[in-house]
Structure 1
Amino acid sequence: MNRQGGLSTANVRNRPGADRQRGHALGAAMLGMLLDGYDLSIMAVVLLPLHSAWHLHATETGLLMAMALLGSLLGGLAGGVFTDRFGRRKLLFPNIFLYVIGALVSAFSPDVSILFLGRFLTGLAIGLDYPLVATIVAEYSQPANRGNRFARVNLAWYVGALLSTGVGWALLFTGAASWRWMLGSAAFPALALLWLRRGLPESPRWLARNGHPSAARAALARLYPEYTSAELGTQLTAFQGHRQPWRVLLHRVWLRRLVLSIFPWFCLDVVGLGIGLYFPMVLRSNGLAGSDGAAAAINAGFVLISALGIVYILSRLDRWGRIPLQSAGFGLMSLGLGLFALCSWNGWIAGIYAGAAVYSLGVGIGPSVTVFALAVEIFPTELRASAAGLATGISRLGAFISAVLFPVLEKSWGIPLVLVVMAIVALLGMLATLIYGVESRQKSLEDLERVHDRVATP
């Protein structure tokens, strides 16, 4: 047994077929993240034909890119509170139905205002899903492999991004209405997600903490059929505890954790979404790609570099820890953006590509996975989704600001100065990680919330 009174995670992990029942939950979480990656990344390609069709000016472009992020901001805040209050299952399907509606509204938009509405609805649906997905991954995983599972889920985001780039590139050749097909295509992975989520059990941790011991035992037995009756009882005892009110987060210890979960993620989205959404346009406007198709292909190459970074840490995140990798990742992002900016000033194309590659690798080997994991790992069960929703919402506020301002500042300042600002933001993310870091590697969720025993509720 571990020191929390629960089962030895090594023994559970090594039993034949032990993870089979959890694979369903992991697959549902991965497809949810794939949908987010597909939805956000398809817009980088959509802008290319849409600009030609509707002649959007910089403000309209920024607002269009920002509407989904605004929806995600509101959805993250609401979804986290709802998931903690009513359980992890209640939002599994309504938010995906909402996404399909938003995708179809976007595809059939007669004008830019309706397109704004469609993008807002898709963003709202994804925002509702984010704290739910993060909580499912955390609560359905063992400490020994929880980091690996978070990495897999975030890798699915990049699979979605690459898939959307490929689909978008192929649809570019369908003519002036290609952007409509691109936006409508997002409904297909959403429908697949509806099918995959059927039959997922409620979180045993949530049930145990909310006064449903019998239901918690049944859900735990379903997720871990290899457990004996005694082992089920031992694990349920570890899950139970005193419910903590929201005001406990005002204590200094928890405020530090809030800063760790919110500020680095905010920095990541300010930089990552700004660069990611507009990178094909930057390539075209700076003469680095001769066609829309070439810009989409080059963009896919850098997305692939980030994905390879995640592949590299799949087996290392649970050994090396979240904080070292997050710090190193932000450092590489800042270094890469600085090189990108410097070479943009003097027109050194090879240096521009090298800087973009270093930046992309930095995103993949750390922050893209670790901010997502830390937002749920370091908070108690009854506040876990709410804290993740708060982090999601504020991070999308950063992405919203970046999406609105990036095209405007690029026109007034030029791309090199904008990249310098982005490099500084990435550096701030690294510093916040080092100052406020709480390592969650190889620790059970119950152990991570035992800070309750050491602090008083304000």
Structure 2
Amino acid sequence: MTSATPSSSEALTRPERLDRLPFTRKHGRLVLGSGIGWALDAMDVGLISFIMAALIGQWALSPTEVSWLGSIGFVGMALGASLGGLLADRIGRRSVFALTLLVYGLATGASALAGGLAVLLVLRFIVGLGLGAELPVASTLVSEFAPAKIRGRMVVILEAFWAVGWLLAALIAYFVVPLSDDGWRWAFALGVVPALYAVVVRRGLPESVRFLEAKGRHAEAEAVVRDFEESAGVAAPMQQAPAQESPGLTSYDSGPQGGESTATTTAAQPGLGDLFGAVLRRRTTALWVTWFGVNFAYYGAFIWIPSLLFTEGFTLVKSFQFTLIITLAQLPGYALAAVLIEVWGRRATLATFLAASAVSAVAFGQAESDTTLLVAGCALSMANLGAWGALYAVTPEVYPTQVRATGAGWAAAFGRIASIIAPLLVPVLHRAGGLGLIFAVLGAAFLMAMVAALFLPEMTGEELVD
């Protein structure tokens, strides 16, 4: 058995000192603090899917207008994800996380006062800016603190808060939106909570040690590491290995068989161009295609499910009830992914859940009774959200510290293009072939993402590249 206290001859870097720690209360607080922001994020995205169904009747919206209401937020999310990642690599993960909560919380609260579609579209775009920037930044922050042996599991647990937020949205929609013509306004008013929580985030969460070191802020980095070591009851090493002032980009590209190639290092001070440089081009392409397929299928389905059920003859309350039950199935999906991701590995877990998502999507489109519709919907929800958990776990691991948030942000931004297109395409597919055609196309998107996922590097148990 090895001692928790290193010998005086050990010289560990600060990231190595974090990697050797067990899971502690500090890690728990980090996941909880980031997860609450994540849940509030999901609550906002989920609310618009239910509010769309309510406004179809109240504002007499056309299918095209409803499509834009569902898609405009993702236009903002695409821009927010790319800018948020760049900012996080320049001013810090925690600062961007808090700023995004403030932006989308205030814009969501203001949406409650919207008097027409044009104003609501503008506010939803602003909401999207904040939402898009937050998600990749939060997963990057948690990934950079998590010990290597449980890093994937911690990020999947973080992503599981998405289900909590979507469940909150479903509960608000079920109990608040149908109460009156202003029910949707009260639902939006609750969305101001993230703005208040931004203060907690800014004061309560630590800044990434890897980011602090990359910026030369070594005293702050040391204080954060010692805080985590103290929480774990682990003494700091007698010797501190020197931090790399300007780490380069090291490539360990692995293909579908998981083989590792010889390491290569690029020049210092990497930037956006390095994502498609010789070192990272292959993994960036695979990651972007995976994000595109998952976003297309997920948002094409879940943004429209309440409205599709309503147009298929369900009452508003019953469509919300079915969606609430389907949403509950997200939780076991995350739980299973959290277990498998450290047992099977990132790539196998992600590909398996995407394959199951494709099968479930086709089954949902072919369902001929309420029971089969509900069962297929729950299977789709469980498999799809398990895939999301695995995808968020692998994304920050693909890139080195200097471009980690940038890479994660741009992958999310490219995926958001699909989340813009899919809600606009759903009404067209519905007119052409009903639910069957819609979910056959979504199933094909899941399959495309599955194939791309097989070309991602396998990082299970590996240290993050600095």
Give the TM-score normalised by the residue count of structure 2: 0.87
Partner of 2:354: 330
Residues 1:179 and 2:184 aligned together: yes
Q: Which amino acid aligns with 2:156?
A: A
Q: CA deviation at 1:190?
A: 4.2
Partner of 2:226: 221
Residues 1:276 and 2:282 aligned together: no
Q: Distance in 2 between matches of 1:393 and 1:79?
A: 10
Partner of 1:455: none
Residues 1:307 and 2:331 aligned together: yes
Return closer, same or farther for 1:142/1:323 CA change in 2, 3 Å cut-off.
same
Return closer, same or farther for 1:438/1:46 CA change in 2, 3 Å cut-off.
same
1:296 to 302, 305, 320: 320
Superposition CA RMSD, Å: 2.4
Aligned residue for 1:241, secondary structure, equals coil
CA distances 1:136-178 after superposition (whole Å, capped 9, x unpaired):
1111111111112111111100000001110111113431111
Q: Distance in 2 between matches of 1:304 and 1:227?
A: 39
Does the CA-based 8 Å contact 1:335-1:355 persist in structure 2?
no
Aligned residue for 2:54, secondary structure, equals helix
Does the CA-based 8 Å contact 1:332-1:361 persist in structure 2?
no
Does the CA-based 8 Å contact 2:95-2:202 persist in structure 1?
no
Q: Distance in 2 between matches of 1:318 and 1:3?
A: 28
Q: Distance in 2 between matches of 1:78 and 1:9?
A: 28
Aligned residue for 2:247, secondary structure, equals coil
5 Å-filtered alignment, 1:25-424, equals 25-225=30-230, 226-230=233-237, 233-234=240-241, 237=243, 241-242=247-248, 243-246=268-271, 247-287=273-313, 289=314, 291-343=315-367, 347-365=368-386, 367-424=387-444
Does the CA-based 8 Å contact 2:105-2:194 persist in structure 1?
no
Does the CA-based 8 Å contact 1:96-1:125 persist in structure 2?
yes
Q: Distance in 2 between matches of 1:10 and 1:138?
A: 11
CA distances 1:256-304 after superposition (whole Å, capped 9, x unpaired):
11123221111111010110011012222223x3x21111111111111
Aligned residue for 2:148, secondary structure, equals coil
Aligned residue for 1:186, secondary structure, equals helix
Partner of 2:21: 12
Return closer, same or farther for 1:10/1:106 CA change in 2, 3 Å cut-off.
closer
Q: Distance in 1 between matches of 2:281 and 2:12?
A: 25
Q: Distance in 2 between matches of 1:388 and 1:11?
A: 25
Return closer, same or farther for 1:209/1:232 CA change in 2, 3 Å cut-off.
farther
Does the CA-based 8 Å contact 1:205-1:239 persist in structure 2?
no
Q: Distance in 1 between matches of 2:214 and 2:361?
A: 45
Aligned residue for 2:399, secondary structure, equals coil
Does the CA-based 8 Å contact 1:59-1:408 persist in structure 2?
no
Does the CA-based 8 Å contact 1:61-1:407 persist in structure 2?
no
Q: Which amino acid aligns with 1:382?
A: Q
CA distances 1:179-235 after superposition (whole Å, capped 9, x unpaired):
11111111124423532442323211111122222222122222332443326824x
Return closer, same or farther for 1:212/1:10 CA change in 2, 3 Å cut-off.
closer
Q: CA deviation at 1:37?
A: 1.0
Does the CA-based 8 Å contact 1:28-1:193 persist in structure 2?
no
Q: CA deviation at 1:331?
A: 0.6
Q: Distance in 2 between matches of 1:231 and 1:299?
A: 56
Q: Distance in 2 between matches of 1:201 and 1:350?
A: 47
Structure 2 gap segments, 5+ residues each: 1-5, 249-267
Q: Distance in 1 between matches of 2:96 and 2:350?
A: 30
Q: CA deviation at 1:240?
A: 7.3
Does the CA-based 8 Å contact 1:261-1:375 persist in structure 2?
yes
Does the CA-based 8 Å contact 1:27-1:196 persist in structure 2?
no
Q: Which amino acid aligns with 1:329?
A: F
Does the CA-based 8 Å contact 1:335-1:358 persist in structure 2?
no
Q: Distance in 2 between matches of 1:324 and 1:333?
A: 14
Q: CA deviation at 1:241?
A: 3.1
Q: Distance in 1 between matches of 2:104 and 2:19?
A: 39
Q: CA deviation at 1:47?
A: 1.8
Q: CA deviation at 1:350?
A: 3.9
Q: Distance in 2 between matches of 1:76 and 1:330?
A: 23
Q: Which amino acid aligns with 1:315?
A: V
Give the TM-score normalised by the residue count of structure 1: 0.89
Partner of 2:456: 437
Structure 1 gap segments, 5+ residues each: 450-458
The size of the alignment, in residue pairs, is: 435
Q: CA deviation at 1:9?
A: 7.3
Does the CA-based 8 Å contact 1:7-1:231 persist in structure 2?
no
Return closer, same or farther for 1:55/1:3 CA change in 2, 3 Å cut-off.
farther
Q: Which amino acid aligns with 1:88?
A: R
**Larger helix proportion, structure 1 or 2?**
1
Q: Distance in 1 between matches of 2:239 and 2:357?
A: 44
